[in-house]
Amino acid sequence: MPDKIKTIEEAISQIYDGASVMLGGFGVPGTPFCLIDELVRQGQTGLTLIKNDANEMGMGVDHLLENGQIDKLITTHIGLNSRAVNLMNDGNLEVEFCSQGILAERIRTAGAGLFGFLTDIGIDTDLAGGKKIIEVDGRRCLIETSLKADFAFIHALHADAFGNLEYSASAQNFNPLMAMAADNVIVESEFIVATGDILPNTIHTPGPFVDVVVPLVELTEEYGVVRR
Amino acid sequence: MPDKIKTIEEAISQIYDGASVMLGGFGVPGTPFCLIDELVRQGQTGLTLIKNDANEMGMGVDHLLENGQIDKLITTHIGLNSRAVNLMNDGNLEVEFCSQGILAERIRTAGAGLFGFLTDIGIDTDLAGGKKIIEVDGRRCLIETSLKADFAFIHALHADAFGNLEYSASAQNFNPLMAMAADNVIVESEFIVATGDILPNTIHTPGPFVDVVVPLVELTEEYGVVRR
Amino acid sequence: MELSDVKDRMIRRAAKEVEAGMTVNLGIGLPTQVARYVSPTTPVCLHSENGISGVGPSLPYGKADRNLIDAGGAYVSVLPGTAFFDSAVSFAMVRRGRIDLTILGAFQISTAGDLANWAIPGMFTPGAGGAMELAQKACRVVVLTTHLDKRGNSKIVKECSLPLTAPHCVSRIYTDMAVIDVVEEGLVLVEIAEGLSVNDVVASTDSPLLIPQINIPVF
Amino acid sequence: MELSDVKDRMIRRAAKEVEAGMTVNLGIGLPTQVARYVSPTTPVCLHSENGISGVGPSLPYGKADRNLIDAGGAYVSVLPGTAFFDSAVSFAMVRRGRIDLTILGAFQISTAGDLANWAIPGMFTPGAGGAMELAQKACRVVVLTTHLDKRGNSKIVKECSLPLTAPHCVSRIYTDMAVIDVVEEGLVLVEIAEGLSVNDVVASTDSPLLIPQINIPVF
């Protein structure tokens, strides 16, 4: 199988100003903190981020917000990051809210090479505003469009050089979906294993979806258990 | 966790005349031959089947066709079963063909509680006939509707009593999708393992999707390697 | 009677919703605490939106797995039968009707069973998370909340003034003052908290309440 | 020269399409045999529609795993790095453009690169399987087929008379007589089989062929 291993500097240097970037993770688990830190270091700006949440203050997405790199955030919930809420309220950050499962499905729909799907979720709420409604089989449906991105940053537990991936516990969340949806999929992995070491039945993301695999030398403190 | 184990007779006795039934499997791997055989024995009629293929002569779906239990087949390819082709050509079996990935996606869409999706697959071919076309973001799309069923017959390698499932190799195919899409999901499993014996990261179908688990005492010859 | 006792009793009362065989999603905050009052021998499966079925008890800091949290951010554990999956599968389970029961928090519940629990415009609009899909698609939706908000206003109202999570979704309301059913005709007072009178509950409720009998059971 | 030799050479010629780093889907029939001429040291990943990436060599009856077949029904094997997945993920890979190359069989190919390979109305309409999605969405689509059908008619035609699999999808055609590119202006003769003249190929082809030079390379 092809070998896709690159350094973190190489991987992130592909990102250009104005790019759209998906970030895996739900809270801490599955968030690619090291790739984010390198993006902060390189400083690309005008980015559109797609992530379930905005992490907490002082972690992950928050560094990008603090560094002024983000123009727009597509997300489901930012209640744990007051900087994100304040930037939004002050008009300095465009935020598009989706229902959580609808965000997941919009990303997967792009990952499946489809253009949209029909749902009644939120049809009688404010979140339906501006969305097209059609009737199919006598049922009113919203058209939700697919959501793709130029790049996806993925955090895996195990990866082989071809990009077969396994996630840990609840760190799976949006990662396998984003790994399907982006044009250029960059994976950071806690362990790089020999190709064949992840059993064929245990692979969560098959290698053909992945473009770049970055080995992590060590995990930063952000990956740890948060004391509340 | 709840216990969902039943006998094969009990499980299949729920099927009623005129029901729609999804059958996992692509060729031999993943086809629930024992559940099918019990359905042949019980003899419910007027069924709509949803399956990738019609198996080969003398196997699985073919028994149901021979027994006159099937009114309609929704499928992708029936070239290996001349009985199915002849019944169709003679007007004795209604056959609806889908492109293979579109059939998979229509089933998954029902399993995801959605009503349809937008695609350009087949848009300029005969398979687009009768489907609604809409324009989204300047792109012509077919509306493909979700496909659910009253029942799904699933073949798993490992199951626990709660219905957590693991499939073997290419026996996965349509099984996990159908296990999401039917109102009543009946699983036959080669091995019933203690709950907890399938690792949380290795479970292909989580238990909440499953209604009934049927232990298989022995595999019939149909499950074996076919000598060609 | 201390408030904490009342809260404990309302949570314990709501826990009777959880029956053998169910797959259950508990919302963030008070609803999460319902798990404490479900007997470990009752065969139920707890679901968490971030991709877990069979959520195990929460763990203290020292024993936590950094990769295993529930949707509320609490460190949780595995049980025999726990499964992990991605967010699309997790919400497929919700929208396909595989969640038998969800217990959610609320800002407001209307006479018609409308639920508002995700936005207070101008003050707090952090996003709806997965609440809309749970409210709209779980087989049974009940609310567990304090009867009054922090300013002492009734959360149970004729019409929600806040943005809706979903209309006509709530079947029952558990508060520190009462258990209330949502039926075709409106809200029915089912039980009242020990030490309160029917009039106490009616006076604290901004929606009409149907009183089906003279002696309302006490919880 | 025996037919089998010519077929071998056309398959070997088509195998040069498969380059290091690619994920490749080989259609049922002749295209499947291309795998025999790809060096095991070339880092490529073979995809099969029924849910495999990294398909390994086919196995004889005695060594077969009853649960491991490719989309053509052949018993295959695993390699280091093989992954199994469901049919929805498999075609997500196809439609998302993660298949760099597909080599398909054909009933007809038109001057415009239209492909017909799934139905002969009134004779053989078993269903399209996954061919439409591969033809429409793989990054590069090439055809590997005999130049003439069983009745001796050209498969390369001005317009397909058979139902289309996908319009304007074929980039190159490999036959036992020639290698032909599909370009904006039509079909270009790129190579001819050893022992044939350009006139032989032109006479066997029902579409105009552009002849770019006097000496056409031989394969």
At A221, the amino acid letter reads E
Query: Nearest by CB to B116, which of A105, A112, A136?
Result: A136
Angstrom distance (rounded) from CA C190 to CA A153:
51
Amino acid sitting at position C77: S
Contact present, B117 and B108 (Cβ < 8 Å): no
Tokens of D17: 């399409």
User: Nearest Cα to B219, choosing from B180, B175, B189, B185?
Assistant: B189
Task: Render C134-170 in DSSP notation, one character per residue.
Answer: HHHHSSSEEEE--SB-TTS-BSEESS--SPPSBSS--
- Interface test with chain A among C61, C85, C86, by most A beta carbons within 10 Å: C86
**Residue C27 phi, psi (nearest 5):** -65, 170
Mean pLDDT of B107-136: 95
Q: Is residue A221 in some structural domain?
A: no
Q: What is the ipTM of this complex?
A: 0.97
Cβ atoms of C95 and A101 within 8 Å: the answer is yes
Residue of A103, A106, A114, A134 to mutate, testing the B interface (most B Cβ within 10 Å of its Cβ): A114
What local confidence, expressed as pLDDT, does residue A57 receive? Answer: 95
Share of chain B above pLDDT 90, in %: 95
pLDDT tens-digit profile of C146-204?
A: 999 999 999 999 999 999 999 999 999 999 999 999 999 999 999 999 999 999 999 99
What percent of chain D is predicted at pLDDT more than 90?
Answer: 89
Name the percent of chain B in helix, strand, coil, to the closest 5: 25, 30, 45
* B114 Cβ under 8 Å from any chain C Cβ: yes
Residue pairs between chains A and D whose CB atoms are closer than 8 Å: 77
Q: Over 70: is that where the pLDDT of C3 sits?
A: no
Instruction: Give the range among A3-12, B213-222, C114-123, D121-130 with minimum mean pLDDT.
Output: D121-130
| Domains, chain D, ordered by start | 3-210 (3.40.1080.10)
Cβ distance C98 to B111 less than 8 Å, yes or no, reads no
pLDDT tier for residue A212 given thresholds of 50, 70 and 90: very high
Chain C contact for B1, CB < 8 A? yes
Residues 169-228 of B with CB under 8 A from A: 169, 200-202, 204
Distance from C-alpha of C47 to C-alpha of C52, rounded to nearest angstrom: 6
The answer to whether A227 contacts chain C (CB < 8 Å) is yes
Least CB-CB distance to A207: which of D45, D89, D96?
A: D45
Compute the average pLDDT of residues D6-33.
Answer: 95
- Distance from B65 to chain A by nearest Cα, in Å? 30
Residue B107 and residue B91: Cα distance in Å, rounded?
Answer: 26
**Which long-range contacts (C-beta less than 8 Å, at least 24 apart) are formed by C193-198?**
C193/C6, C193/C9, C193/C10, C193/C218, C193/C219, C194/C1, C194/C9, C194/C218, C194/C219, C195/C1
> Which residue from A28, A76, A80 is facing C128, i.e. has the nearest CB?
A76
pLDDT one-digit tens code per residue, B50-83: 999 999 999 999 999 999 999 999 999 999 999 9
Counting Cβ atoms within 10 Å, is residue C33 exposed (0-12), middle (13-18) or buried (19+)?
middle
d(CA C115, CA C170): 7
Q: Does residue C25 belong to the interface with chain A, where contact is any CB pair within 8 Å?
A: no
Task: Report the pLDDT averaged over residues D103-131.
Answer: 92
Confidence category of residue B164, pLDDT binned at 50, 70, 90: very high
CB contact under 8 A, D73 and B80: yes
Model confidence pLDDT, tens digit, residues D101-114: 999 999 999 999 99
What helix, strand, coil percent values describe chain C, rounded to 5?
20, 30, 50
Question: Count of alpha carbons within 13 Å of D135, Cβ hemisphere only?
Answer: 30
pLDDT at site D80: 96
pLDDT at A94: 97
- Residue D125 banded pLDDT, cuts 50, 70, 90: confident
pLDDT of residue C212: 92
Chain B segment 155-214 residues within 8 A of C by beta carbon are: 160, 162, 164, 180-181, 194-196, 200-201, 203, 206-209
Residue C1: which pLDDT band, with cuts at 50, 70 and 90? Answer: very low
Which one of D2, D17, D19, D49 is the catalytic residue? D49
Give the CA dihedral A179, A183, A188, A193, nearest 10 degrees.
Answer: 70
Vertex A10: Cα angle to A8 and A11 (nearest 5): 60
CA dist B69 and D6 (Å) reads 48
Lookup result for tokens 């970037």: A21
pTM higher than the cut 0.90: yes
Q: Is residue B138 part of a domain?
A: no
- Select from B28, B131, B172 the residue whose CB has the most chain D CBs within 10 Å, as the one to mutate to test that interface: B172
d(CA D126, CA B42): 29
- Contact predicate A48/A20, CB 8 Å: yes
The mean pLDDT of chain A is: 96
* Higher-pLDDT residue of B127, D124: B127
Q: Measured between beta carbons, which residues in chain A are less than 8 angstroms from residue D88?
A: 112
- Taking the CA of residue B108 and the nearest CA in chain A, the distance in Å comes to 11
Query: What CATH number does the domain containing A62 carry?
Result: 3.40.1080.10
Match 């991105």 to its residue by tokens: A149
Q: Is residue B228 part of a domain?
A: no
| Cα angle A171, A175, A180; round to 5 | 160
Cβ pair A116:B120 closer than 8 A? no
How many other C-beta atoms lie within 10 A of the C-beta of residue D124? 11
Give a yes or no: residue A133 inside a domain.
no
Which residue in C2, C17, C19, C49 is the catalytic one? C49
Tell whether B136 is covered by a domain: no
What region does C195 belong to: left with phi over 0, alpha with psi -120 to 50, or beta? left
Which of D48, D50, D55 is the mutation pick for testing B, counting most B CBs within 10 A? D50
Is residue B49 within 8 Å of B64, Cβ to Cβ? Answer: yes
Q: Mean pLDDT across the stretch B144-165?
A: 98
Give the DSSP per-residue string, D142-209. EEE--SB-TTS-BSEESS--SPPSBSS---EEE-SSEEEEEETTEEEEEEE-TT--HHHHHHT-BS-E
The tens digit of pLDDT for each residue in B188-199 reads 999 999 999 999
**Tokens 């995801």, located at residue:** B112
Domain count for chain A, please give it: 1
Measuring CA to CA, how many Å separate B213 from each of B44, B113, B217? 20, 23, 13
> What CA–CA distances, in Å, run from D157 to D117, D162, D202?
13, 11, 12
Chain B segment 51-110 residues within 8 A of D by beta carbon are 52, 75-80, 85, 95, 97, 99-105, 107-108
What is the edge-to-edge ordering of all strands in the sheet holding D108-110?
D115-116, D108-110, D156-157
Which among C70, C71, C88 is the nearest to A105, CB-wise? C88
pLDDT for residue D103: 98
Say if A161 falls within a structural domain: yes
Whole-number pLDDT of residue D1: 41
The question of whether C19 is a catalytic residue gets the answer no
Q: What is the pLDDT at residue C124?
A: 73
Domain range for A59: 8-117+145-216
Using one digit for the tens of pLDDT, what is the confidence trace for D58-94?
999 899 999 999 999 999 999 999 999 999 999 999 9
**Chain D 84-113, residues with CB within 8 Å of chain A CB atoms:** 84-85, 88-89, 91-99
Q: Which chain A residues are Cβ-neighbours of C71 within 8 angstroms?
A: 26
For residue C91, the model assigns a pLDDT of 98
The answer to the question of residue B77 being in a domain is: yes
With CB atoms and an 8 Å threshold, state whether D67 touches B127. Answer: no
Using CB atoms, which chains have 3+ pairs under 8 A with C? A, B
Residue D2 has pLDDT above 60, yes or no: no
* Interface chains of chain A (3 or more CB pairs under 8 Å): B, C, D
pLDDT digits (tens, 9 = 90+) for C88-138: 999 999 999 999 999 999 999 999 999 999 988 877 778 889 999 999 999
Report strand pairing: C186-192 vs C209-210: parallel
Q: Following DSSP, what letter does each residue of B23-84 receive, concatenated?
A: E--SSSTT--HHHHHHHHHHT--SEEEE-SB---TTSTHHHHHHTT-EEEEEESB-TT-HHH
Is A223 part of any domain?
no
Six token digits for residue D22? 């690619």
pLDDT band at D121 (very low <50, low <70, confident <90, very high): confident
Contacts of D164 (CB under 8 A, 6+ apart): B124, B125, B126, D114, D115, D116
Q: Which two tokens stand for residue A47?
A: 């980015």
- The rounded distance, in Å, linking the Cα atoms of B12 and B64 is 14
Reported as a single tens digit per residue, the pLDDT across D172-218 is 999 999 999 999 999 999 999 999 999 999 999 999 999 998 899 99
